[in-house]
Chain A
Amino acid sequence: MLNVSGLKDGIVLDHIQAGMSTKIFNYLGLEKLDCQVAMIRNARSSKMGRKDIIKIEGGLDMVDLDVLGYLDHNITINIIKDEKIVEKRCLKLPKRLTNVLKCKNPRCITTDDKGLPHIFFLANEETQTYRCLYCEETASK
């Protein structure tokens, strides 16, 4: 078993689908943090077979939960204090995403007005479909 040093205070993003941690790392902009971040890939999991894990030193404000919920709402967030899990949080699909995705419709107003925020709303929870607020184009992950 690979040994990654324990986290005193911070958060652990657990149950990440195997192979997805790099994408999540990039979406969350974790490369910009100057605290310790550990990314574990293909960890053994009784529930998932294999999973990825990301450990981040620091508080919950280090990650955008909406982005995370959009990417994979099955991820569990463990909040660690004094090396112990003090809280487990489940994610929900966010109702709205701002400046997470870019609208790819060349006819959308966001292509003209570069200062507009790119906003997507949850159009269908069952199919996890997001659409651009302006032109209703379907988002592609």
Chain B
Amino acid sequence: MNNLRHLISPLDLSLKEIDKILSLAATIKENPKSYSKKCEGLKLATLFYEPSTRTRLSFETAMLNLGGSIIGFSDAANSSVSKGETVSDTMRIINCFADICAIRHNKEGAALVAASKATIPVINAGDGGHQHPTQTLTDLNTIRSLKGRLSGLKIGFCGDLKFGRTVHSLIHALVRYPDNEFVLISPDELRVPAYIRDDVLIHSGVKFTEVQRLEDSLSDLDILYMTRVQKERFFNEEEYIRLKDRYILDKEKMKLAGPEMLILHPLPRVNEIATEVDDDPRAVYFKQVEYGVYARMALILFLLGKEDTSC
């Protein structure tokens, strides 16, 4: 394939390309039927070494909506990994079977390794606590669709900002738009890693603050991005138990937020958002899932070079 493209980090896409993908996602949402045969005869391989519900099903739904087919595995135990096969070797095999591939792995950098051996487009569907660029496209699509813009926003990130790969990827993406401001709300142990604070936030000169109390920040946020403290990222269970319920967004706290503030969450949610908040019109985390399918449909078309072909 000429001009082989992958999506490993949100930075692999220029702002113009992101805009193109999000515009295409909006068009697909308006008229999904006209895209239902775009990928006829093509196969998406979903290589999920780590459990996932939303992301894998979202990718599979996206490809099926485009008329394509799915192959893959949803658990490393059911693949040749259990026999000791490396990501590089698995990728060399998948090159022969599929036209595009989405990979999720618990180790950071796995998607980059896969891409280095790929002759088909590779999409990083999450690599450890590192990056999750298609969740970023989902988040950007949600914000752009519901707020009408991706700039001039005050965004609060709350919870596990250390291992929260969706947070890292979204910060990476949003610092590129003008006049955004960030409030990073986390316990000291779960602050954003140095490569985000130093190389992304400080380096870009964007305005940001790091705080520990959620209540103090709610009143002037445009977006509150809640995250789960991820048990699977801790080597020490005691540490997890100590930190897991640090932030719980409930109806009481929502009284402190503005009427236009949107609550996003990459899901799954555990305790960090009380179910009583779900009916609040500002809670858009289930709508996010739908925007995710359109974003992934648009991305698949973009990476396969089919975004401009007529319906």
> A residues touching B (Cβ–Cβ < 8 Å)?
105-113, 115-116, 123-124, 127, 129, 131-138
Contacts and interface: CB of A to CB of B under 8 A. Distances in A.
Q: Size band of the B side of the interface? A: 20 to 34
A112 B128 CA distance: 12
A135 B108 contact: yes
Contacts of A138: 194-195
A134 B129 CA distance: 12
Contact of A123 (B106, B129, B199, B233): B199
Given A129-B198, A138-B194, A108 B87 contact: no
Nearest to A138: B194
B263 interface: no
Given A113-B87, A123-B195, A107 B107 contact: yes
B275 interface: no
B86 A105 contact: no
Interface stretch (B56-64, B92-100, B109-117): B109-117
B129 A107 contact: yes
A138 B113 CA distance: 19
A134 B199 contact: no
Nearest to A110: B109
Interface in B10-52: none
B109 A108 contact: yes
Contact of B87 (A109, A127, A132, A137): A109
18 contacts: A107-B106, A107-B129, A107-B130, A109-B105, A109-B107, A109-B108, A109-B110, A113-B86, A124-B198, A124-B203, A129-B198, A133-B112, A134-B110, A134-B113, A135-B130, A136-B108, A136-B130, A137-B195
Contact of A135 (B87, B88, B109, B235): B109
B86 A115 contact: yes
B235 A136 contact: no
Given A115-B86, A137-B108, 12 more contacts: A107-B106, A107-B129, A108-B107, A109-B108, A112-B110, A113-B86, A129-B199, A131-B195, A132-B109, A134-B112, A135-B130, A136-B195
Contacts of B106: 107
A109 B86 CA distance: 10
A105 B107 CA distance: 10
Contacts of B129: 107
A108 B194 contact: no
B85 to A, nearest CB: 10
A106 B234 CA distance: 11
Contacts of B195: 123, 131, 136-138
Interface string B187-212: 00000011100110001000000000
A113 B88 contact: yes
Nearest to B109: A134
Contacts of B110: 109, 112, 134
A96 to B, nearest CB: 14
A112 B90 CA distance: 14
